[in-house]
Amino acid sequence: MLDIKDFSIFENHSNFDFKGFLLKILSYWKWFLISLIITFTIAYQVNIRKEKIYTMQTVVSIKEESNPFFTSNTSLVFNWGGISDQVNGISTILQSRSHNERVVDKLQFYIDYLEQGKYNLIDSYGQVPFYLEIDKTKPQLANTLIGIKFLTANEYQIQVLFENSSVPTITYSTNAYTSVSVVPTNFTKRFKVGERVIMPFLNWKLQINDNPGIYIGKEYFVRFNDFDETVSKYKGLNVDGDKGGGSILTLSMQGTNKARMVDYLNSTVKMLIKIQLDGKNQFATNTIQFIDSTLVAMESQLKQTGNELKSFQKDKNIYEIEQGGAGASDRIMSFDVEKDKVTRKIAYYNSLKAYLNNSNDYSRLPAPSVAGIEDPNIVSNVSKLIALSTQRSEMAYAVKSEKIFRDFDNQMVAVKNVLLENIASAKSSLLYDLSLVNSKIGQAESAVRKLPQEQQELLKIKRKYDLNDNIYSEFLKKRNEAEIVKASNLSDIHFIDPAKDVGAGLIGPKTSVNYVMALFLGILIPLLFVFGIFFINNSIQNSDDISKLTQIPIIGVVGVNKDVVSLAVFDKPKSALSEAFRGIRSSLQFLYKKQQLSGSKTLMITSSISGEGKTFCSINIATVFALSEKKTVIVGLDLRKPRLADEFNLTTPLGVVNYLIRQNSLKEITNSTPIPNLDVILSGPIPPNPSELILSDAMAELVNELKQKYDYIILDTPPVGLVADALELVQFADVTLYIVRQNYTKKDMITLLNNRVKRGELNNASIVLNGYQNKAKYGATYGYGYGAYANGYHEEEVKTGFWKTLLSKFRKD
């Protein structure tokens, strides 16, 4: 039946032991040292292997430049969209895939030029003495190192390691991959500088740079990378605008090769300037293309009418014929020119309306000025529509946001609707003007019909020729105007500070950060390990743990026995370990005196489980009593796992069991030891019924007989946590010593001890903490609890360390 005292385990709730945790940390100082050495070594190796990282930048300004050739008579209007739109648009273009594809393709940055560094391959763009002229329409070996070694100034050797029977190749004109069959081998072949290399997997011409330096005998490497992957790396270009909202952009890059970054930053800006200027010239380009196509047709008509006029003038007196119809001819000509202007405007409006309704790309609209249209609403809206369409096409590969595209589409739809309304109103006015001109022409033609037949024929031919000539001259004038405007256009993007290597820009590697991380991890890793041990380990660590768990007194603390034998007190009587057992002897004498015992005294030594040092403590407590000239005997009552024979090198088979079964007398089972006044009684043969033998009357007779002969009787019993034998021997013991071993005995065992004491199963119990090591002082043991004050009072064997031993041998040599 359970006793209420059995539930006392719930009475003890220990809080976090910060002191114990701190001592535990200090006891593992070697682990911290090793961990720090490892982490700092790793950090050092990482730092020396990392390439230096630089940052380069270029600064550009965006300023809307007006054309210096624009006059009040110049009707060609060019509009990029205004400064506010340009800054956002340019930032987007610089990070777009299409823009970076152009720059990468121009610079051929998909080719790596490498050299073998101390620890790894390094990017040597701008430093190698050669460059490659590749055939973009032919395949190149992809993602494979190609060694190039210069044998002479004009001869080099290619070396490629083929591990498989096929290798991938890339054709940069289409960015298509193919596979080429090869022989698995270390391929080598020689070529001349400037010689065209034509192979299934390589197609290039190697050229030497100007001022190449010394390169004979040196080895370099090239590698052809994936085009799209290369572009993706450069899409990460940083574009920062002026915080004040101005038109200044700062472009920056980070990398290991300054020459490569300088070339890329400057090239990307130059490419942007070209794109922006092309867009700005789009209006004039469209106008020139339209005029050129019109002039071709006009030249044919002008040539035909010219031939007709020459044929008519042949064998005729043109001067006399012209005299009669000169006035009518001039009048009809002015009306025809006026009608042509109106007709061209109406035709342009019809064409523009059809284009707006049937197309989504408005970047190729011709300028209204080609038709003589000077309406500012029409001109500005056509220009704005071209600019919006051009910007939208530039962002097609860069912007993934549908909202931005919808905004552009909404703007273009709004402009298109306004433009269609302008066209409708302008056409109605022009149709009215056309009817008036036609009536005037009709009146003039009625007057011409009254003239002679030859004059009418001449006026008809000259009328057609003069009209074509006038239109042709007008178109030539417009074309020259567009050419002038196009040639004089200026880009809105200007370099303020081009990228340049001036020796600065180093930003990494941040070695200090790596060392700080090494320090942090070097402390954290073992700290977490110790923290885990501290909370997972449920064993007794020190006397404070015992005091928190029980009210049973601790009468002694015994250190670790570093020797093989258990006779610590006898072998080293002046050691700290011996003093610890003498302290236990003094405490026991006080307990005996407190009980007012006289004559022979018994001491039972037990523990929770096996391995906590019961036998070791029994031998040495008995030894200190024996050395004080008291007749002492150790009785081995652990009948299941006897150990005393091994400790004293005894081979006799006789022991307590022989006495209990009435086979031998006390004298026959008693063994003397090398220690004066100390005898040992072994347990004897292992019986099948140890508990029954201990409960027999013979056990009481044995104790009584021992009391007649010895001053102190030490009972070495089995652990109470495993078997009940020790509990049966409590009746014969004046004092019970319960052995607790540091870092071995579980805290729950102390709770069980409390229960046994409360139930009266153990009487006069005291605790001895065995195997104690105080590692608070960086792992060193100072007198097993006495601290540095024990120096000079104890004799301890000083063990020479490994390094001191090695140093002493070196000095002797």
pLDDT along the chain (813 residues), means of 10: 41 56 78 93 87 90 63 43 62 86 94 91 93 95 95 95 94 94 94 95 95 92 95 88 75 91 93 81 74 74 71 55 54 72 80 79 70 77 77 60 71 83 82 78 63 60 68 75 74 86 81 89 89 78 84 89 79 85 90 86 89 89 91 89 84 88 89 91 87 86 91 90 78 90 86 86 88 58 40 50 54 52
- Is the peptide bond preceding residue 509 cis, with omega within 30 degrees of 0? yes
Question: CB–CB of 587/534 below 8 Å?
Answer: no
Contact 426, 375 (CB under 8 A): yes
Strands 712-716 and 632-636: parallel
β-pair partners for 736: 604, 765
In three-state secondary structure terms, 240 is strand
Give pLDDT, residue 70. Answer: 45
Q: Is 55 exposed, middle or buried (0-12, 13-18, 19+ CB in 10 A)?
A: middle
Whether the model clears a pTM of 0.75, i.e. scores above it, the answer is: no
Distance CA(729)–CA(740), nearest Å, equals 19
Which amino acid, 755? N
How many residues are recorded in the chain? 813
Q: In this predicted structure, what is the pLDDT of residue 96?
A: 85
Query: Would you list the domain boundaries of the chain?
Result: 4-50+509-536, 83-265, 282-488, 543-812
Strand order of the sheet with strand 146-152?
121-123, 111-116, 219-224, 146-152, 155-161, 186-192
Give which of 706, 719, 686 is closest to 605, Cα–Cα: 719
Model pLDDT, residue 445: 63
3-state secondary structure of 148: strand
Under a CB-based contact definition with an 8 Å cutoff, are residues 540 and 750 in contact? yes
Q: What pLDDT score does 231 carry?
A: 93
At 198 the pLDDT is 94
Relative to beta strand 203-208, strand 196-198 is: antiparallel
How many helical (H) and strand (E) elements, i.e. helices and strands, does the chain have?
A: 24, 25
**Nearest one of 598, 601, 545, 538 to 737, comparing CA atoms:** 601
* DSSP letter, residue 125: T
The residues, any chain, with a CB within 8 Å of residue 222's CB and separated by 6 or more, are 111, 112, 113, 114, 132, 145, 146, 148
Task: With beta carbons less than 8 A apart as the criterion, state whether 518 and 42 touch.
Answer: yes
CATH number of this structure's domain 543-812: 3.40.50.300
DSSP code for 368: G
Output phi, psi for 308, to 5 deg.
Answer: -65, -40
Question: Residue 780 has what DSSP assignment?
Answer: B
- C-beta separation of 514 from 27 below 8 A: no
- Summarised one tens digit per residue, pLDDT across range 604-639 is 999 888 888 888 999 999 999 999 999 999 998 888
pLDDT at 36: 93
Residue found by looking up tokens 């794109």 in the block? 275
Is 657 buried (19+), middle (13-18) or exposed (0-12) by CB count in 10 A?
buried
Q: For residues 658, 662, 664 and 665, what is the CA-based torsion angle, rounded to 10 degrees?
A: 120
Q: Are 618 and 605 in contact (CB under 8 A)?
A: yes
C-alpha to C-alpha distance for 251 and 264, rounded to whole angstroms? 11
Q: What is the CA radius of gyration of the chain?
A: 54
Distance between start and end Cα atoms, the chain: 75
Tell me whether strands 678-681 and 712-716 are parallel, antiparallel or unpaired: unpaired
